[in-house]
Amino acid sequence: MIGMLTISKFARVTVTVAVVFGLSVFALGQTAPATATPDAPSAAAVAAAKFTGTKVGTLAVEQAIGSCNEGLRDLEALSKKFEPKQNELKTLNDELDSLKKQLSAQQDKLNEDARGKLVKQIETKQKNFDRVAEDAKEDFQNQAGEIENKILVKMGPVIQKYVADNGYGLLIDTSQPWPRGPVIVAGPAIDITQQIVDAYNVQSGVPAPVAAPKPAKPATAKPAAPSSATPK
């Protein structure tokens, strides 16, 4: 129950992915501005001209958002922000478990009145825990969604440029595995997720998070080599 604040798989950005990709990345349905002259190409024509390649690629959009340097940085900061709430939930959960164990161990020894009071106390604490946990989960997901959507909007043009520059005519989002997603199987040879992440990291200028140093292994003394000298 306590793990409910763990960063999710970004399911909440699915609708935004469809909207942003439909309008910003591929932009094939855009109409020409009202002031365009008859000789000026429409935005749709320009967009279509960019995507004349024949290659097919896959991109796990949600994974790209979460694994780019900016996503790692901002989502990690959000997790740290929620650590006090996580600790509060752990305390409430521990209190609830303690009361449940008490009831299980003593229910045969308690009279009806004492047992009823303990059951009521457990029910009250359970409702309070559920309310606090649900509020925290909703707040966390809302803030994480804001971070992810912000990155997605900026990542769209990077995806567009990569697709146009590398001859892709079709790019499929594989964020959701089948059957939730439309793709049954896709080989790694056509996946460009890491390429998009690398390109976005260059554009954003956000450095890679510093990995926590690994604890040093204790030094082990080597046994002394036996003497080769012959005794006199």
Q: How does pLDDT run across 64-97, given as a tens digit for each residue? A: 999 999 999 999 999 999 999 999 999 999 999 9
For residues 209-224, average pLDDT: 63
Side chain identity at residue 38, one-letter code: P
Q: How confident is the model at residue 24 (pLDDT cuts 50, 70, 90)?
A: very low
In-domain check, residue 229: no
pLDDT at 204: 95
How far apart CA 7 and CA 95 sit, in angstroms, is: 25
Tell whether the model's pLDDT for residue 170 goes beyond 80. yes
pLDDT at 209: 87
Question: Which pLDDT band, with edges at 50, 70 and 90, does 153 fall under?
Answer: very high
Question: Across residues 188-217, what is the average pLDDT?
Answer: 88
| Helix pair 112-165, 43-50: axis angle to 10 deg | 90
Give the whole-angstrom CA distance, residue 65 versus residue 55.
Answer: 23
In a domain, 149, yes or no: yes
Most distant pair of Cα atoms in the chain: their distance: 109
Q: 27 to each of 18, 21, 130, how far by Cα in Å?
A: 12, 8, 44
78 part of a folded domain = yes
Pinpoint the alpha helices (H) of the chain: 14-20, 43-50, 61-67, 69-81, 83-106, 112-165, 193-204
Residue 14 clears pLDDT 60, i.e. is over it: no
Mean pLDDT in residue range 26-49: 43
pLDDT band at 35 (very low <50, low <70, confident <90, very high): very low
Tell me which residue of 175, 203, 214, 138 sits closest to 14, measured CA to CA.
Answer: 175
**pLDDT given at position 19:** 33
Is residue 228 included in any domain, yes or no?
Answer: no
What is the pLDDT, as a whole number, of residue 27? 37
Question: In the predicted model, is pLDDT for residue 188 greater than 50?
Answer: yes
Tell me, what's the pLDDT at 53? 85
Asked whether the predicted pLDDT for residue 45 surpasses 70, the reply is no
Confidence label for 8 from pLDDT (cuts 50, 70 and 90): very low
Q: Which domain holds residue 139?
A: 6-32+40-204
Query: Domain for residue 183, yes or no?
Result: yes
- Per the domain annotation, does 211 fall within a domain? no
- Exposed/middle/buried for residue 78 (C-beta within 10 Å: 0-12, 13-18, 19+): middle
Q: What is the pLDDT of residue 21?
A: 40
Dist CA 30 CA 23 (whole Å): 8
- pLDDT at residue 40, rounded to an integer: 47
Model pTM above 0.75 = no
Q: Is there a domain that residue 127 lies in?
A: yes
Please count the structural domains in the chain.
1
Residue 209 lies in a domain: no
pLDDT at 26: 38
